Amino acid sequence: MPKIPRNLSDKDMFKGWQEEPTIEETMLQAAEPIQATRPQLRHIPQKGEKREGAHQTYLSQDAIDTMEKFLLEIKLDFFKQGISDYHVNVRREGNTILLEHVPAEGKNTKK
């Protein structure tokens, strides 16, 4: 049995000692690459915050806000009528773009 030296500091006593990794540390290290590849949540811009996308080339922020407001009003009107399932038809007539909300057939939940 080796002789234990006396009057050593904590730093000197642990000199050259290497801690073995625990099971928890091993599992956490193995899980790190998986977490990095998970899809990130989509950021929903707040009012007045700059948005990115192709529509930014053509529409001002005020036009986008107004359009979103009107779409929400239509959605609420359908909800009040008991229509929960609908789709949007987009079409062009000259220089006008029309968004037409059409209830899906056979799936209305009118009470």
Q: In the chain, where are the structural domains located?
A: 60-103
Q: Is 53 left (phi over 0), alpha (psi -120 to 50) or beta?
A: left
The long-range contacts involving 85-92, CB below 8 angstroms and separated by at least 24 positions, are 85/109
pLDDT of the chain, 111 residues: tens digit per residue: 778 788 888 888 888 888 888 999 888 888 776 555 556 666 666 666 666 665 566 777 788 889 889 989 988 998 898 888 888 888 999 999 888 888 787 654 444
Q: Give the start-end residues of each E strand in the chain.
A: 86-93, 96-103
pLDDT at 99: 85
Q: How far apart are the first and last CA of the chain?
A: 87
DSSP percent split of the chain into helix, strand, coil, nearest 5: 40, 15, 45
User: Within a 10 A sphere around the Cβ of 106, how many other Cβ atoms?
Assistant: 6
